Chain A
Amino acid sequence: MNYTESVIYWFSNQQLKMKKNNTVKATFLLILICKLLCGFDALAQQEEDAALVFVSTNIFVNQKKLVRENHFEIKINNRKGEKYTSVNIPFSNLSKIGKIEAFIKDADGIIIKKLKKSDIVTKSAIEKYSFYEDNFIQSFRLKHNVYPYTLVYSYQTIEKEFIHIASWIPLLDTDVPTKKALLKIVTPVDYQIRFMQTHLNEPLIETTADQITYQWEGNYDQQVKSQVFAPPVFDFLPQVNVVPLWFEFDKSGSLESWKSFGSWQNAIMNGLDIIPDSELLKIQDVLKEANSRSDTIKLLYHYLQDNTRYINISIETGGLKPYPASYVAHNKYGDCKALTNYFRAVLKSANIPSYYSKVYASNRIHDIDHNFPAQQFNHIILYLPGENESFWLDCTSDRAFDYLGTFTQNRDALIIDDTGSWFVRTPKLANNEVLESRTAEILTANLPATIKMEQSLRGYMYELVFDLDVNYTGSEKKRMLNKYLLPKGFEISDYEIHRTHRDAREIFFHYTASASELISQYGNDIIIQNVPFDLPKIETPAERTFPIQLDYPINKTDTLHYMLSDACQLKNPISFELNSIFGTYSYTLSMIDEHHLIVTKKILIHSNRYPLSDYEAFHSFYTAVVEQENKNIHLTKTN
């Protein structure tokens, strides 16, 4: 189990291949990929290549032991479905795995092949963002050559220490239907559990003299696929989550309330905040120049940023228990838990109280279910409330002081304290905090046209350019910038990236580029392609199935100044404006004189949530903007 696994307990027993949300430092490439493939990783198939015909999980749990029996029957209908004949069974040092059995049935139900023990291979299973985890997989492949056939396999896991009983999503993949799924949990009569399910019915509960049986049944055929400006796909999948009311995981604890969960989290961190004397001396040295509380916090945060790095090493209960502050003080590295715990101790030594705070970090906001106290988080940040000023610090981040960013803004954080725990909403990115403004001078005297672009970027683009700037160098950096950050058809020649100071929540990315197709001339007619805002393609109302969720505002402005070598006259309409409940858009063309054309445009889309029924209206507003953005500018020569 691991903090940084987004879907933490939900997916821990599944072999679902979905994109996971990483912690802030590890997300960069993922974002780029999403940006590139936006809407292109289509999942729906015309005919089903494979189906999960039957999946069942039987769980026997008591105070001391948790036994899970998993059984899968996967029907393979053709060669394309064959990828599901490769089976990976996850386990860790905290769970014992056994009784792995597998066989193949032909179309008539006759068993034609069985798995041999010697064909099972054990491998490490370490997430891309991690350096090391003591997670492993048992992997094997069993296939046949006459379709259809059914792969049946089962295995058992046993855990002694656990904080969740089931995090059950009965899916093979989001594009594979599940015909029938069963979850059965058997407990002693005096053993209490808590559960919640989504997109599934309430369980059947049977009580006998010595045990209680809970049973859920479901299926899946929607083939859910990610959509733009929508909640995460994960929120639309059938799932059951079950936790023990009382548990033993490092220390004993209870999931009766958020308060009790917080107390347990606090208890397992007890004594981990000791900082060695040598480190204390350095901290005192840093604080020589501090004059105020905010000064102190900022200086120490800079010290943290300059001296530590993010490395995730997760073993044993490492998913929930941080490495001690002394470990970070010596090694100067750690994951989000370790770095946050260390920094909390550093602040404490300067008499500044702060709180270890659990959040669900992701590019799309996934809401915490308040009615279900459990480990629903994947990231740790630090909260410093104050009478005049409060701060939120991401201890894994190299970005500006007190900047949370798109991954953790505007969501519930569970604040951990020895007197209990409570939720605080992290601050949300305001319109002016996500402003992306571009000013360009475009020279058209020689072809290809030359563009001198000056940009000041905040919000998501600040994060993206910052990460690119820090993580890449030389020709590779230039290539990445060109590929991901320049409008289509632009070829970069020079660039400059800078910030006014290290805590500025804004980055300047200036460049010069050429674009061969920007301007075309046909006799006396000159056609100029607009430089459109970078806006993702969205689904048509017919394709749309999810409600609208805009997690932060979209706020962009452009001033594009074209220098024309020939005297010209404008043929297009001069201005265009749109106003709707979703936002505003404006576009203006003006000729200063016959050689100077200026295009100014602005878009603001509010951060909000709307039901699916509003999608048609949203789509028509958004499409009108995109159409205007893609309109060419038509000039004619006057002489």
Chain B
Amino acid sequence: MRLFFIILFCLSSASSFTQEFNTSFGRIGQKEVDLQQYEHDEDAEAVVLFDIGKSHFIKNEGSIDVVFERKTRIKILAESGLEYAEIEIPYYIDGSQKELVYDLEASTYNIEDGKLHTTTFDEKNTYDETINNNWMVKKFAIPNVRSGSIIEYAYKISSPFKFNLHDWEFQWKIPVVYSEYIVNTIPFYEYTWLLQGSSNFDIQESYTAKTLPRHFGSIEYKDIVNRYVKKNIPAFDNTEFISSVNDYIIKLDFQLSKVNYPSGHSIEIMTTWEKMIEELLKHSDFGKYINKSAKAASKLIEDNEILNKSDQEKFDFAIDYVKKNFSWDKRYRKYATDSPKKMIEAKYGSSADINLFTIGFLNTLGIEAYPLLISTRDHGKIKYDYPFAHFFNYVIILARVDDQLILSDATEPLSLNKRIPTRCINDKGLIIQEEKVSWIKLETTLPSSIKTSLVLDFSEDEVNVLNSTTLTEYDALNFRKNYSDNTVLISEKIKENGYTLIDSTINVTNTFEVNKPLIVAYQHTLKQEIVSNKLFVKPFLNEIIDENPFKQKTRTYPIDFTYPQKRTYQSYFEIPEGYELTYIPEDVIINNDLFGLIFQVKNEGKSITVFFDYVFKQSTYQVADYSKIKFYFN
């Protein structure tokens, strides 16, 4: 039985030039010892000389376990690379079933007195950290490591969980010289795989194992060896303004697609989105949870009056009820953790608990509502050609209200009912409804804005300022979440700008009325410099960001602003007594598909109005636009 390939990448013929290092565990060559600096990346603090993994199946008391083996060798090139000598191996536990980490070995090689000196690791110096009920981490520090050391370690993990074959990341935060993953498959489990971040392997081959046949019951079979190799993989550069590392790191992902029982029948684990949707709808922690929620919610409605109201009112009633009574425990989930009854009792839950419950609630009120399965920004992008359930990690609400489709997330009380939080804005979501596969864009085209209006009044060596700032949409949400109506926090923020705040002038309007724009108003003073009888006015004071967040000259990943952003600044003042205007900067107007900017000065008699406005019209920009975006920020 061969692997079920969804796609076939062309085999790489021209393998790029490689520094050849020994790839056998426990045998160190002169080249590894001599290596002082990695030729392809002279800043590298360490380099992975080889990283070799293998997954295969073994019989274990009538059942089959999957064993993952790994051996890795790293050369430490600088002090900062020492962290790679602290190893952490996560393993999974589910009740009585658990993964087992064993056959741990590690060594360090140093040159001492011109000779290769080996320090071996004592397995008793390993520690198990408990992360939660399901996850443990085996930890150990490799001994006698310093800059110049070569370290290597090997371990095995046996697992009864065959659903996810161990994935393989070819790329590290340091360069990798040689990375190889071998998967030996058997006829009983079929997997699909997907390579991300790269289009090809240096070596990819599949062949029947040259061993004696194995037996399971009456079935005789041989392993199929699938080998994937990549060489000279550059360090992963974790740049700012990308949605998720998961989207870009080079890795090979495996997913169980079919189980063939020895008795002859087979179960397709996943073939199509249709099947996945069908199974979700039947799932006790998904579709059935919604149905149970609908029943449970009907008991929560104290006044039946709501049933006679409009769709919009019903929608808001359900969302407001959930937001008010249940809080989100910050867990990102697509399946409910427990029954709706338990959630109602606990008053808190995961994204799935809360949003699936809300969908049930909406259905009870007669509102058409569906779960929308998504992948949050930090979880990475969905690949639409591959029906893998693990692409998703979160569920939100899709409702039809007065014939309009509305996206909602009841975990975010400070957000509008018809908006989803920024963590959810990530490409598209899959509607979970009967007999239909459709995707909905999560992106918002509506710009969020911050409008700052200043009235300046000059006196002596000071300027008195009345600042009124209006925030909408996501910009307002951020403010509500970070500052709420806390004047202490707000005043700290104002002082950061170098202003002297006039006591008790902060006034925040609509903090909790999320349907309206949020307005922050306050008065402050700022020292003003008069030099040789000249007054230099900075009309927007210290309001405008003066640093370009994009420092790199070039960029390899797209820029993601999450949502379109508009900024408006307006400053009004009168020319003080005894002064006259001697210099005004020129007006500027830029307007294109990506970006718009206006700078204007109006002077009528004694009064001057300065207007500045810019908008990033898209939420994401492609790599090709980087230099333009960088330029606009200047």
Q: Is B433 an interface residue (CB 8 A)?
A: no
Q: Are A488 and B546 in contact (CB under 8 A)?
A: yes
A46-B488 contact, Cβ under 8 Å, with A123-B131, A631-B529: yes
A330-B327 contact, Cβ under 8 Å, with A46-B487, A471-B80: no
Q: Are B496 and A473 in contact (CB under 8 A)?
A: no
A136-B130 contact, Cβ under 8 Å, with A40-B492, A473-B80, A631-B529: yes
Q: Is B579 an interface residue (CB 8 A)?
A: no
Question: Which residues of B are found within 8 Å of A132, using beta-carbon distances?
Answer: 127, 129, 139
Identify B43's interface contact among A306, A309, A473, CB under 8 A: A473
A473-B45 contact, Cβ under 8 Å, with A42-B488, A42-B489, A491-B551: yes
Main secondary structure of the interface of B (DSSP, over half): loop
Q: Are A333 and B143 in contact (CB under 8 A)?
A: yes
Question: Which residues of B are found within 8 Å of A285, using beta-carbon distances?
Answer: 113
B residues 500-552 in Cβ contact with A at 8 Å: 527, 529, 531-532, 534, 536, 546-548, 551-552
Please give the distance in Å from A544's CB to the nearest CB on chain B. Answer: 14
Binary CB contact string for chain B from 115 to 152 against chain A (1 if under 8 A, 0 otherwise)? 00001000001010111110000010101111000000
Q: Which of A372-380, A497-505, A517-525, A598-606 contacts B (4 or more CB under 8 A)?
A: A517-525
Q: Is B305 an interface residue (CB 8 A)?
A: no
Identify A479's interface contact among B41, B534, B551, CB under 8 A: B551
Q: Are A523 and B534 in contact (CB under 8 A)?
A: no
Q: Are A470 and B80 in contact (CB under 8 A)?
A: yes
Question: Which residues of A are found within 8 Å of B345, using beta-carbon distances?
Answer: 113
Complex CA gap A485/B274 in Å reads 55
Q: Are A145 and B413 in contact (CB under 8 A)?
A: no
Q: Is B60 an interface residue (CB 8 A)?
A: no
Q: Is B82 an interface residue (CB 8 A)?
A: yes
Q: Which interface residue of A82, A122, A131, A627 has the most chain B CB atoms within 10 A?
A: A131
Q: Is A163 an interface residue (CB 8 A)?
A: no
B144 to A, closest residue via Cβ:
A332
Question: Which residues of A are found within 8 Å of B131, using beta-carbon distances?
Answer: 123-124
A79-B536 contact, Cβ under 8 Å, with A330-B119, A332-B144, A398-B79: no
Interface size class of A (residues with CB under 8 A): 35 or more
Complex CA gap A203/B145 in Å reads 53
Complex CA gap A434/B609 in Å reads 48
Please give the distance in Å from B353's CB to the nearest CB on chain A. Answer: 13
A525-B534 contact, Cβ under 8 Å, with A474-B43, A482-B551: yes
A residues 510-561 in Cβ contact with B at 8 Å: 516-517, 522-523, 525, 527, 537
Q: Are A333 and B487 in contact (CB under 8 A)?
A: no
Complex CA gap A361/B129 in Å reads 27
Q: Is A141 an interface residue (CB 8 A)?
A: yes
Q: Are B546 and A307 in contact (CB under 8 A)?
A: no
Q: Are B141 and A333 in contact (CB under 8 A)?
A: yes
Q: Are B327 and A79 in contact (CB under 8 A)?
A: yes
Binary CB contact string for chain A from 272 to 298 against chain B (1 if under 8 A, 0 otherwise)? 000000000010010000000000000
B527 to A, closest residue via Cβ:
A627
Question: Which residues of A are found within 8 Å of B132, using beta-carbon distances?
Answer: 121, 123
Binary CB contact string for chain B from 483 to 496 against chain A (1 if under 8 A, 0 otherwise)? 01111110011011
Q: Is A489 an interface residue (CB 8 A)?
A: yes
Identify B583's interface contact among A311, A471, A522, CB under 8 A: A522
Q: Which interface residue of B78, B345, B348, B548 has the most chain A CB atoms within 10 A?
A: B348
Question: Which residues of B are found within 8 Å of A80, using beta-carbon distances?
Answer: 484
Q: Is B237 an interface residue (CB 8 A)?
A: yes
Q: Are A145 and B326 in contact (CB under 8 A)?
A: yes
Q: Are A126 and B583 in contact (CB under 8 A)?
A: no
Please give the distance in Å from A147's CB to the nearest CB on chain B. Answer: 11
Q: Are A309 and B82 in contact (CB under 8 A)?
A: yes
Q: Is A77 an interface residue (CB 8 A)?
A: no
Question: Which residues of A are found within 8 Å of B583, using beta-carbon distances?
Answer: 522-523, 525
Please give the distance in Å from A50's CB to the nearest CB on chain B. Answer: 14
Q: Which interface residue of A80, A132, A476 has the most chain B CB atoms within 10 A?
A: A132
Q: Is A475 an interface residue (CB 8 A)?
A: yes
Q: Are B143 and A491 in contact (CB under 8 A)?
A: no
Count of residues in B whose CB is under 8 Å from the partner chain: 63
Complex CA gap A522/B161 in Å reads 71
Complex CA gap A44/B129 in Å reads 36
Complex CA gap A636/B533 in Å reads 13
Complex CA gap A91/B235 in Å reads 40
Question: Which residues of B are found within 8 Å of A82, using beta-carbon distances?
Answer: 327
B81 to A, closest residue via Cβ:
A473
Please give the distance in Å from A287's CB to the nearest CB on chain B. Answer: 15
Q: Are A330 and B486 in contact (CB under 8 A)?
A: no
A310 to B, closest residue via Cβ:
B82
A residues 555-610 in Cβ contact with B at 8 Å: 571-572
Question: Which residues of B are found within 8 Å of A632, using beta-carbon distances?
Answer: 529, 531, 536
Q: Is B30 an interface residue (CB 8 A)?
A: no
B149 to A, closest residue via Cβ:
A332
Q: Are A537 and B413 in contact (CB under 8 A)?
A: no
Question: Which residues of B are found within 8 Å of A479, using beta-carbon distances?
Answer: 551
Q: Are B130 and A331 in contact (CB under 8 A)?
A: no
Q: Which interface residue of B43, B536, B547 has the most chain A CB atoms within 10 A?
A: B547
A627 to B, closest residue via Cβ:
B527
Q: Is A634 an interface residue (CB 8 A)?
A: yes
Binary CB contact string for chain A from 474 to 498 against chain B (1 if under 8 A, 0 otherwise)? 1110010010000011011000000
Q: Is B96 an interface residue (CB 8 A)?
A: no
Q: Is B309 an interface residue (CB 8 A)?
A: no
A175 to B, closest residue via Cβ:
B488
Question: Which residues of B are found within 8 Å of A39, using beta-carbon distances?
Answer: 492, 495
A40 to B, closest residue via Cβ:
B492
Complex CA gap A123/B134 in Å reads 11
Complex CA gap A482/B413 in Å reads 37
A472 to B, closest residue via Cβ:
B80
Q: Are A126 and B536 in contact (CB under 8 A)?
A: no
A282 to B, closest residue via Cβ:
B112
Q: Is A452 an interface residue (CB 8 A)?
A: no
Complex CA gap A121/B331 in Å reads 15
A311-B86 contact, Cβ under 8 Å, with A46-B487, A473-B45: yes
Question: Which residues of B are found within 8 Å of A522, using beta-carbon distances?
Answer: 536, 582-583
Complex CA gap A492/B237 in Å reads 19
Complex CA gap A636/B44 in Å reads 49
A489 to B, closest residue via Cβ:
B546
Q: Are B551 and A143 in contact (CB under 8 A)?
A: no
Complex CA gap A98/B582 in Å reads 78
Q: Are A143 and B534 in contact (CB under 8 A)?
A: no
B residues 334-351 in Cβ contact with A at 8 Å: 345-348
Question: Which residues of B are found within 8 Å of A636, using beta-carbon distances?
Answer: 532
Q: Is B12 an interface residue (CB 8 A)?
A: no
Please give the distance in Å from A337's CB to the nearest CB on chain B. Answer: 16
Question: Which residues of B are found within 8 Å of A126, using beta-carbon distances?
Answer: 129
Q: Is A180 an interface residue (CB 8 A)?
A: no
Q: Is B329 an interface residue (CB 8 A)?
A: yes
Q: Is B325 an interface residue (CB 8 A)?
A: yes
B238 to A, closest residue via Cβ:
A476
Please give the distance in Å from B60's CB to the nearest CB on chain A. Answer: 28
Q: Are A311 and B413 in contact (CB under 8 A)?
A: no
Question: Which residues of A are found within 8 Å of B145, using beta-carbon distances?
Answer: 309, 332-333
A634-B44 contact, Cβ under 8 Å, with A333-B141, A479-B551: no
Q: Is A144 an interface residue (CB 8 A)?
A: yes
Q: Is A228 an interface residue (CB 8 A)?
A: no
Complex CA gap A144/B498 in Å reads 42
B413 to A, closest residue via Cβ:
A79
Q: Are B552 and A475 in contact (CB under 8 A)?
A: yes
Q: Are B130 and A123 in contact (CB under 8 A)?
A: yes
Question: Which residues of B are found within 8 Å of A516, using beta-carbon distances?
Answer: 546, 634
12 additional A-B pairs beyond A40-B492, A474-B43, beta carbons within 8 Å, are: A40-B493, A113-B345, A123-B131, A145-B324, A145-B325, A331-B143, A332-B144, A472-B80, A475-B552, A488-B547, A525-B536, A630-B498
Provide a sorted-by-A list of 10 A–B residue pairs whose CB atoms are within 8 angstroms: A40-B496, A45-B488, A123-B131, A123-B132, A126-B129, A145-B325, A474-B235, A482-B551, A488-B546, A571-B532
**7 tightest Cβ-Cβ pairs between the two chains A and B:** A474-B43, A331-B143, A634-B531, A132-B127, A332-B144, A522-B583, A145-B325
